[in-house]
Amino acid sequence: MTHIQTIIEELTATVMGKAFVMRLMHMGLDAYVVGETVTANLREGDLLIVGSGSGETKTLIPIVEKAQQLGGTVAVVTINPTSTLALLADLVVKLPGVPKEQTALADETVQPMGSLFEQTMLLFYDALILQIMEDKQLDSQTMYGKHANLE
């Protein structure tokens, strides 16, 4: 079965990726967060999702290259579709926001650093979940049955 692996550049963005991966798991998909204890290895045909506001994080570049060498498809969720990571990717999702490193780009915001990007990322992922639920005819009750029962 195809694995979906999520890795996210910005530390707070990692957080949004984890919420997304947990819902994918609730739907019965084989999804992982890069760097957790039981993360499976990426195989040919797997999808790696990279979230990066600026699209320029240097530590993510060798990971994207490795995933492509292994035959994986790479999707980048970013503010900047002409960034290094976006240009490497097989698929790019452009979200509004201001990268945490800058103060006056694209969409103006009163919010600090990457907050706007994190919010739109969470809402984008949650909207994707609703779409997949509809496609798979799943409801909340069925998904809850897969939620960790020890916490």
59 binds a copy of itself (CB under 8 A): yes
Q: Which amino acid is at 65?
A: E
Residue 31 interacting with a copy of itself (CB under 8 A):
yes
By the rule CB under 8 A, 1 interacts with a copy of itself = no
Tokens of 104: 């006056």
Would you say 79 or 100 has its CB closer to a copy of itself? 100
Nearest distance from C-beta of residue 89 to a copy of itself, angstroms: 15
Radius of gyration of the chain (CA): 16
Q: Which of residues 69-108 bind a copy of itself (CB under 8 A)?
A: 70, 100-101, 103
Q: Which of 36, 44, 65, 118 is catalytic?
A: 118
Catalytic, 118? Answer yes
* Total of chain residues touching a copy of itself, rule CB under 8 A: 65
List own/partner pairs for 92-98 with CB under 8 A and 24 or more apart.
Answer: 93/124, 95/120, 95/121, 95/124, 96/120, 97/53, 98/53
Give the residue carrying structure tokens 């009163």: 110
Q: Is 131 an interacting residue with respect to a copy of itself (CB under 8 A)?
A: no
Kindly state the smallest distance separating residue 135's Cβ from a copy of itself, in Å: 14
Q: CA 148, 39, 2, 64 torsion: positive or negative?
A: positive
Nearer to a copy of itself, 93 or 128 (CB): 128
Report how far apart, in Å, the C-alpha atoms of 18 and of each of 13, 14, 23, 51 are.
9, 6, 9, 11
Q: Which of residues 5-24 bind a copy of itself (CB under 8 A)?
A: 5, 7, 9-12, 15-16, 18-19, 21-23
Segment interacting with a copy of itself, rule: CB under 8 A, options 60-68, 77-85, 86-94 = 60-68
CB atoms within 10 A of CB 4: 19
